[in-house]
Chain A
Amino acid sequence: MKIFYYPGCTVKTKAKNLEESAIAAMKALDIELVELPNWNCCGTVFGMSTDDLVHQLAPLRNLLRVKEQGGDKVTTMCSMCYNTLKRANHLIREDEEKRRLIADFMSEEAIRYEGEVEVLHLLEILRDVVGFEALKEKVKINLKGLKLDPYYGCMLTRPQEIGIDNMENPTILEELLTALGAEVVKDPMKTECCGSYHTVNAVEVVADRGYEILHSALKRGADAMVLSCPLCDYNLDHRQREIAKKYVDFSGIPVFYFSQLLALALGLETKESRFDLNYVDPLPLLREKRVVV
């Protein structure tokens, strides 16, 4: 099966380990992610102002591209891209007037876009198209022995209208990791903010938030974190340097993208998961748990 795939900027630069592992893993599941030609920026935070319609153009133009290519679905693995694309889509699906205005504004495009494309996060594809029961059958390397702490951040589940799971207590990552054979740690911090864009100009905030989240995981016996958002990953993985500087008792903990573990579990070679791009090297842990030789 083929499905259009919207990458967004971050997976092409800072989060290559997310993209490459995801594409490889999905290929092993017979799903080819076809990169959308001529894609542009998803709009990021600018799309959050719903009264200023011009900021919705960026995400909607991407969806228009999908329709142009003859597709009716598009997937992405970046939480922010997912959120903006889906929210913009939701906005014009609900509001006839805005839909018309925006479509009229983009009249120089060859076709008109009126909300026909479905936006799916990669996790939704795993849950609803592949199915976790079927996924279990395909696991070649069981992640048994690994205690993993899934972390959701915010963009995947909020606002509730577009969220892929319950915002107070999402379980989709837990279900995925359980299907791969791992043990999942229950952690109330899984939906608490990572500090987000404060990483740009107020790193202290991120260090505090990161410490609270990671310390909670360590306290509850987790071996590693698992997440899906490049910004969360930056704050919780790369920023461990800052956390360690401020909190002397912080020992560090590996952080995985869910797709890296998925690729591993499906039996792909270790290099496909691009662990070399993780800040905290996860290979010692994986070797210790005999997931990797």
Chain B
Amino acid sequence: MAGTAEKLASLRATLATAGLETLVANARVPLGHASADTALKGGLERGALHEVYAATNSETAATAFAAGMAARVSGKKKILWIRQDFSALEFGEISATGLVDLGIDPSQILLVCTAHADDAIKAASDALTCAALGAIVIEIPGSPKILDLVTSRRLTLACAQKNVTAFLLRFSARPEASTAETRWRVHAAASLKDEENWGQPIFETELVRNRHGRTGHWVMEWNCDEGLFREPSGGKAAHHRAVVSAPGDGPAAAALEGARAAHAVG
């Protein structure tokens, strides 16, 4: 095994010196959380569409989760954050100081405010033609008509074409058919019991859909210093809690719940 790893490393080095970094860059980007990365076959795929659904009242957690993933795949490149006006009114505006505290450079982020979901998708389609972007985040509350399978396919194709990663951040929405590479469901998680004060941002994440691998359920912590996700440092025992499906999730969600139970890793 060690031999294989070495060989891989030397191959990468060769590629890099040959000026083919882009090939290496195309590789999946590890989130940092070991078992999630295993399920993702090494990490989050670049140049693909990923969906993040926020559980009720966990919108900010989902925001941070999406921001973290976008920062992971972007490196130093810019992130275009498209948000609908209603989202800012209802859940609050993305705050620069909040980003700083997450270890994400606010100067890296461009914020596009749109009045409607249609405009948000238009902006996203345009942005996905710009290869200089690292990632885009499309924050859309509710379930507007435009977010159908056709749009999803169009975004997926556009992502692949210029290798820009897109995150569709959905608030108060029910899961819909899509061609996304992965779909996550994010709940806020409580700080660990043994901590007197709260620690780093912590999420209960369910990978409810994964095109090229298995699904799973993990508690992840965002490490603001290193800019990666990882297992909560205080131990995992604290985080067994029954997740109640959000009202209105319906039978499809119930089926997902079942699937999640089967894959629960904890």
* A-B interaction: no
Write the residues of chain A forming the contact surface with B, with a CB cutoff of 8 angstroms: none
